[in-house]
Amino acid sequence: MADSIFIGKGEDTPQSLVLKRANRHGLIAGATGTGKTVTLQGIAESLSREGVSVFLSDVKGDISGMAAKGSDAAAWTGKRAAEIGMTDYDYAANPVVFWDLFGEQGHPIRTTISEMGPLLLARLMGLNETQEGVLTVAFRYADDQGLALLDLEDLQAMLVHCAEVADELSTRYGNVTKASIGTIQRQLLTLENQGGKFFFGEPALDIADLIAVDGQGRGRVNILAADKLMQSPRLYATFLLWLLSELFETLPEIGDPPKPKLAFFFDEAHLLFDEAPDALMDKVEQVVRLVRSKGVGVYFISQNPIDIPEKVAGQLGNRVQHALRAFTPRDQRAIKSAAETFRANPKLDVATAITELKVGEALVSLLQADGAPSPVERTLIAPPRSRVGALTADERATIINASPLAGKYDETIDRESASELLAARAQEAVAARDAAKAAEAQAKADAEAAKAKAKADAEAAKQAAALAREQAKAQAAQARAAARPQPKSATEKVLESAARTAANSLTRQITGSLGRSLVRGLLGSLLK
Which residues lie across from 451 on neighbouring strands? none
Q: Which three-class secondary structure state does DSSP give residue 391?
A: coil
Question: CB within 8 A of 258, min separation 6: which ones?
Answer: 3, 19, 20
Element (H, E) at 87: none
Residue 416: per-residue pLDDT: 85
Measured distance CA(320)–CA(23) in Å, rounded: 15
**Mean pLDDT to the nearest integer, 413-422:** 84
Segment 335-371, tens digit of pLDDT: 998 898 899 999 999 999 999 999 999 999 999 999 9
Report CA torsion sign: 484, 490, 493, 495: negative
pLDDT surpassing 80 at residue 290: yes
**pLDDT band at 279, cuts 50/70/90?**
confident
- DSSP label at 66? G
Residue 61: per-residue pLDDT: 87
4-110+203-406 adopts what CATH topology? Answer: Rossmann fold (3.40.50)
Q: Which of 23-32, 136-145, 463-472, 489-498 has the lowest mean pLDDT?
A: 489-498
Segment 157-180, tens digit of pLDDT: 999 999 999 988 988 898 899 999
Measured distance CA(277)–CA(308) in Å, rounded: 15
**Mean pLDDT to the nearest integer, 413-438:** 82
**Mean pLDDT to the nearest integer, 182-202:** 88
Q: Which three-class secondary structure state does DSSP give residue 146?
A: coil
Query: Angle 22-258-386 (CA atoms, 0-180°, nearest 5)?
Result: 55
Give the distance from CA 391 to its chain's centroid. 35
Segment 382-411, tens digit of pLDDT: 999 999 999 999 999 999 999 999 999 988
Q: Which range scores top for mean pLDDT: 274-283, 451-460, 514-523?
A: 451-460
pLDDT surpassing 70 at residue 509: no
Residue 522: per-residue pLDDT: 52
182 with 162: CB under 8 angstroms?
no
406 with 350: CB under 8 angstroms?
no
Residue 69: per-residue pLDDT: 94
Q: Which of 101-110, 220-229, 456-465 has the lowest mean pLDDT?
A: 456-465
Residue 515: per-residue pLDDT: 53
Residue 260: per-residue pLDDT: 95
**Mean pLDDT to the nearest integer, 238-246:** 89
Measured distance CA(386)–CA(64) in Å, rounded: 10
Residue 476: per-residue pLDDT: 84
Average pLDDT, the chain: 88
Residue 513: per-residue pLDDT: 57
Domain map of the chain by residue range?
A: 4-110+203-406, 115-191, 493-528
Measured distance CA(256)–CA(286) in Å, rounded: 18
**pLDDT band at 482, cuts 50/70/90?**
confident
Task: Look at residues 317, 267, 319 and name the one whose alpha carbon lies nearest to residue 288.
Answer: 317
